[in-house]
Structure 1
């Protein structure tokens, strides 16, 4: 155990003597200052990148919600057009389809509610 203690003591002496000299302590201080500045720049850059990522996530979430609403609206429109087509195909070629069988008011009410919700989100 004695040799290890001597080595530790020698290392401590070397550290103390190198910092005691004027030239070395100034050089050390300059290096520490540069390192501290680099750390500050790195932390600022990291915070900025995190903030930009969060903004992008929120933007994509909003865009996703709008696209989901558009899908719902187009799905309803497709269902309406299918019903209209089937009503027309099932009827005589020269007569108009019976639109009373289709619940237009309910479809239009659903569409207006979707539009109102979109407006409220903005």
Structure 2
């Protein structure tokens, strides 16, 4: 029975060699898959950072635009108030003269507009 053990040990060695070769192939294949995955993750993170940066830039742009529009609203509201007062003064006078317009404090209104202009707002 001794010869059978030798055959068994030889065939076991051959099987072990095949297993080692298969494990090497599996390791290389695994390494390739891991490398590809790592590269994909890097690309994904770069894209994510780029999208985040673009979103922040857009938010800042919209904030600036919003501030300008708020200033424009203030200016147009003052202008509307002035024109309403002018209209009411003109409609209320029977003589249709400019004497009632002088009752409106134009200097104060113009001073308000000039301080708004000095703050860096642009008249549209």
TM normalised by structure 2 equals 0.75
Q: Could you say what the CA RMSD is over the residues aligned between the two structures, in angstroms?
A: 2.2
In structure 2, what is the Cα distance between the partners aligned to 1:59 and 1:115? 21
Q: Residues of 1 paired with 2:87 and 2:105: CA distance?
A: 14
Tell me the equivalent position of 2:102: 100
Matches within 5 A, 1:10-49: 21-49=23-51
Greater CA drift, 57-66 or 89-98: 89-98
What residue ranges of structure 2 are gaps of 5+ in the alignment?
Answer: 1-18
Give the length in aligned residue pairs: 104
Secondary structure at 1:100's aligned position in 2?
helix
Deviation at 1:97, TM superposition (A): 4.2
Tell me: higher relative CO, structure 1 or 2? Use CA pairs within 8 A at least 6 residues apart.
2
Closer, same or farther: CA 59–99 of 1 in aligned 2, 3 Å: same
1:75 matched to which residue of 2?
A: 77
Give the alignment's TM-score, normalised by structure 1. 0.76
The 1-side partners of 2:53 and 2:21 are apart by: 41
Unaligned runs of 5+ in 1: 1-16
Moved segments of 4+, more than 4 Å: 17-20
